[in-house]
Amino acid sequence: MTAINDLKTQIIQAWIELQQQTPLVQCITNTVAANYAANVLLACGASPAMVDNPYEAESFTRVSNALSINIGTPTSEQMQAIRISAATAHQQSIPWVLDPVGYSSILKWRSEMTQSLLNFVPSVIRGNASEIACLAGDETKAKGVDSTQSSADTYHTATALLKFTSCVAISGESDFIISNDLPHIVKVSGGSALQPKVTATGCALGALIAAYCAVAPTAIATIAAHVHFAIAGQLAAQKSQSIGIFNVAFLDELHCLSTTKLEQYMQIDFV
């Protein structure tokens, strides 16, 4: 119990640091998610910048506090920027998050490019269960960019990715965070079944993880981002089960998180 309480204290401190530091997060993300991810970061206390031009990628990554890379709708030009920014972040020890959206044997070009990005040692790899399992070598069938399997069935497989990164996060009904820096796998509960019904919530979560990585140790940052999302989703769902109203309420709850709400609603356990 003491270990859980210590972890909760560190998560609360990470949230406080996010509010105080307002980190600049470069987001190279998909066309569906860009606006939503920017609004989520603003609501949570970070400063987003959606710079994905290969001619500006290196210089902007150098001045950023963190980098979020999302392979959702990659173009050839955007992929150039992604490689440049990932390489720059690695060289400059800037934390960066890889979200391998759609990684599968069906989408070979993006998957091969995603595989090559592992050479730049992402701080965190996050995705849904199917994407993480497939990236870890388990040939599952994904339905487009949606998951066809449970996060609870994937975290054992995901440990294979810890040779490429220090932390892996799997989203689902419950979220699981695996890290070389943690003695246990951490399960984050809460949230709402409505979150996957809103386009780009998972993509925005990757960006928020990057923001937290700018102000806290990687494993704590990753857990804190998931807790932030889980509490906001839980409280927004109490206001409405209508998707449109829920979405607005979700952004409001992301913005209105507090130490009191963190202490009251945080649900984390060791697996």
171 annotated as belonging to a binding site for a ligand: yes
- 131-157 residues labelled b (16+ CB within 10 A) or e (exposed): bbbbbbebebebeebebebebeebbeb
50 annotated as belonging to a binding site for a ligand: yes
Q: For residues 260 and 176, what is the distance between their CA atoms, to the nearest angstrom?
A: 24
Query: HSE-up of 246 (CA within 13 Å, CB side)?
Result: 19
Cβ neighbours of 56 (radius 10 Å): 14
Judge contact between 266 and 221, C-beta under 8 A. no
State the DSSP H helix or E strand holding residue 56, giving kind and residue range, or none if neither: none
Q: For residues 72 and 29, what is the distance between their CA atoms, to the nearest angstrom?
A: 7
Residues pairing with 247 in the sheet:
none
**β-strands 268-270, 24-28: how paired?**
unpaired
1 annotated as belonging to a binding site for a ligand: no
Judge contact between 28 and 69, C-beta under 8 A. yes
What are the respective helix, strand and coil percentages of the chain, to the nearest 5?
55, 15, 30
Per the annotation, where are the binding residues for ATP? 126, 171
Going by the annotation, the residues of the binding site are: 50, 126, 171, 200
Binding residues for substrate, by number, are 50, 200
